[in-house]
């Protein structure tokens, strides 16, 4: 199903305008890079779905704000090339020895309550390290044992489109997009405060009425490029800035 989306694009809050939605959907000329994320899914103890989504979103933010991704850092060139084209992300799963091999590659592991996600610097679309290329994209269907609690004050809130059905791995990529758009839309002072707080955020599915309002709100909005699972241009996530009065 193609989710309805407004025709407007997002303007950065108190900062320079950048058409991030168009970057997601239409930038085809630059060399294509992808941000690999690997979620640890052990058979005996898989992570909870919402915790995996939130951990993936934080992992993207940790990568973007890491010194190695900034300025003349060792990952900065790859990050710039990736952000200049589509901000494509691919989530794969690993367990046991696969996970241990993935941990040996340059990257950052971010841990949630039950989830572990390792994020790696962007790689060319056809240039994945062999240790990651052999990992499966399928098999990331996760469940929540309990209903997620309400978002807390100070958390950014990433809301998923209630009309779409996606695998957990696809959802992880989409909330990663949402977190990235939110990060780029923030003034530097707000970025620093959010980073210093450990990137507090929550992922929840919007209700139908709320979703219509959110997509017209001017908040950062993810439009998917349509490589997998859903139609091109589908709206998947709306990201709201952290607030103290939630």
Q: Give the C-alpha separation, 37 to 226, whole Å.
A: 19
Spatial contact of 185 and 13, defined as CB atoms under 8 Å apart: yes
Q: Give the C-alpha separation, 189 to 170, whole Å.
A: 31
Residue 92 phi/psi, 5-degree rounding, is: -120, 165
Q: What is the pLDDT of residues 76-107, one digit of tens each?
A: 999 999 998 888 999 999 999 999 999 999 99
Q: Give the C-alpha separation, 164 to 162, whole Å.
A: 6
CA distances from 11 to 6, 19, 24, 193 (A): 14, 7, 15, 21
209 CB-near residues (< 8 Å, 6+ apart): none
Q: Give the C-alpha separation, 141 to 121, whole Å.
A: 25
Spatial contact of 184 and 18, defined as CB atoms under 8 Å apart: yes
Residue 214 phi/psi, 5-degree rounding, is: -65, -40
Q: Return per-residue pLDDT of the chain as tens, 246 residues.
A: 444 575 433 333 333 334 444 344 444 566 789 999 999 999 999 999 999 999 999 999 999 999 999 999 999 999 999 998 888 999 999 999 999 999 999 999 999 999 999 999 999 989 999 999 999 998 789 999 999 998 999 999 999 999 999 999 999 999 999 999 999 999 999 999 999 999 999 999 999 999 999 999 999 999 988 888 888 889 999 999 987 544
Q: What is the pLDDT of residues 175-184, one digit of tens each?
A: 999 999 999 9
Instruction: Retrieve residue 3's tokens.
Output: 């989710």
Q: Give the C-alpha separation, 3 to 14, whole Å.
A: 29
pTM for the full predicted model: 0.89
Q: Give the C-alpha separation, 140 to 46, whole Å.
A: 9
């Amino acid at each position: 199903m193609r989710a309805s989306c407004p025709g407007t694009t997002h303007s950065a809050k108190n900062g320079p305008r950048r058409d991030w939605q168009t970057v997601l959907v239409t930038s085809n000329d630059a060399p294509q890079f992808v941000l690999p994320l690997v979620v640890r899914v052990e058979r005996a103890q898989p992570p909870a779905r919402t915790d995996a989504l939130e951990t993936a979103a934080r992992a993207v933010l940790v990568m973007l704000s890491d010194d190695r991704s900034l300025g003349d850092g060792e990952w900065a060139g790859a990050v710039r090339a990736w952000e200049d084209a589509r901000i494509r992300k691919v989530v794969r799963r690993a367990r046991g020895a696969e996970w241990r091999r993935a941990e040996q590659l340059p990257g950052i592991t971010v841990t949630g309550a039950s989830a572990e996600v390792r994020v790696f610097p962007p790689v060319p679309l056809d240039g994945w390290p062999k240790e990651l290329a052999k990992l499966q994209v399928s098999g990331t269907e996760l469940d929540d044992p309990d209903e997620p609690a309400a978002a807390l004050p100070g958390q950014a809130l990433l809301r998923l489109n209630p009309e779409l059905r996606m695998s957990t791995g696809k959802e992880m990529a989409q909330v990663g997009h949402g977190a990235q758009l939110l990060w780029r839309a923030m003034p530097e002072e707000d970025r620093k405060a959010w980073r210093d707080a450990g990137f507090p955020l929550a992922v929840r599915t919007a209700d139908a009425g709320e979703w219509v309002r959110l997509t017209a709100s001017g908040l950062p909005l993810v439009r998917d490029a349509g490589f997998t699972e859903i139609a091109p241009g589908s709206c998947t996530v709306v990201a709201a800035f952290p607030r103290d009065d939630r």
